[in-house]
Amino acid sequence: MNARQAFTAGYFDTAAGCVREVAPDVRGGGFRPRLAGRGREFARSPRREPDGFLRLPNGSRIAWDSLGDPQGFPLLYFHDTGSSRLEASLLHHSAQRCGYRLIAFDRPGVGRSDYFVCKSPREFCENLLPVLDKLGVSRFGIVSKGGGGMYALHLCRMSPERIPGQINLAGIPARTLACPRGFCAVLAGVIPMTVDALLRLKQFLSPDDPGAVLNRLREELSFSDKQMLSRPEVADILEADQAESVRAGYRGMAQDLAISFRKLEVPLEEIAIPTEIWHGCADRLTQRADCEYLASRLPRARLHRVSHRGHFFFVQHMDQVFDSLRRNLRTQLALN
């Protein structure tokens, strides 16, 4: 296959490994995704009350929800920065169809989880790992979105024997992956504290309304994403998610955002978990380069790009995303 044929087929051999460009409407052969259906089939109306709480070793409680197939293979869900466990409601029906049990957590001070000082994703994962057995979870996969990917990577590094595969939606901000030196390293240590303080001050003086946040978001989105948010069931979930994320105040969100500016504490090259990275080609909220960088550094990563779809591509195309994980799970579980 020459370069032109490879481009036409949608496969690219780059330094980032195998990059697959997925067309959402392919006629006359090729990859044809199964759409998640119409109406409310792809999203579950968010439940405001969590399914339960887990008591961490430090004494704090974190809230969790279980979605998808209750008897399915468990997948831990790490929500994006500025969101809550309710974000996973967008994946509920796809997980149900594909046979996965999604377990979504609120991070410290977010949603219904207790606030406690948490300085890094590693610290949160160290508290989370010992209590997963209470949920009947021994081996599990991971689904993460945006900034939640930092927590997923730390968990993969800390407990690789329990994780046969993971999915990352929309990459991870490159600022967390670079390795600053000299003055930049000093600055990198100061930025998280500054972000935390400024966000708390801003919200104290002029709190955001969840509806207003969603309206500002719409202004930045691509055409395909604006169409997606025009669906009442999607907009309702996102608005509920925004409201839930600051239910207990802004301390949790500020801390979570500040953590997203910290540098990853583990080398990407040491994370050997099979990873499927998905990105919408029309995404205006995250950068293609961030996804490519992540795929190029992780030893067993593949990058999939969905043509003509934006940041919320997964709402309709999560079945295909889950299918990419299933192949890894079959291989890894068979080996063990």
Residue 25 belongs to some domain of the structure? no
Residue 90 belongs to some domain of the structure? yes
End-to-end CA distance of the chain: 35
How confident is the prediction along the chain (336 residues), in pLDDT tens digits per residue? Answer: 333 333 233 333 333 345 666 655 333 233 333 333 433 455 666 667 899 999 999 999 999 999 999 999 999 999 999 899 999 999 999 999 999 999 999 999 999 999 999 989 999 999 999 999 889 899 999 999 999 999 999 999 999 999 999 999 999 977 666 554 444 444 445 555 565 555 555 555 455 666 676 778 888 899 999 999 999 999 999 999 999 998 888 888 888 888 887 888 889 999 999 999 999 999 999 999 999 999 999 999 999 999 999 999 999 999 999 999 998 888 887 766
Residue 19 belongs to some domain of the structure? no
pTM of the shown model: 0.82
The CATH number of residue 150's host domain is 3.40.50.1820
Cα–Cα–Cα angle for 149, 321, 70, nearest 5°?
85
Structural Rg of the chain based on CA atoms: 19
Question: What pLDDT is recorded for position 321?
Answer: 97
Measure the CA–CA gap between 167 and 204, rounded to whole angstroms: 36
Residue 47 belongs to some domain of the structure? yes
Residue 18 belongs to some domain of the structure? no
Residue 21 belongs to some domain of the structure? no
State the total domains in the chain: 1
The parent domain of residue 103 ranges over 36-335
Cα–Cα–Cα angle for 100, 101, 106, nearest 5°?
135
107 contact partners, CB below 8 Å, separation of at least 6: 62, 79, 113, 118, 124, 151, 252, 256
How would you write 245-307 as a 3-class SS string?
HCCCCCHHHHHHHHHCCCCCCCCHHHCCCCEEEEEECCCCCCCHHHHHHHHHHCCCEEEEEEC
Residue 9 belongs to some domain of the structure? no
Question: What pLDDT is recorded for position 260?
Answer: 83
H/E stretch holding 76: strand 73-78
Residue 126 belongs to some domain of the structure? yes
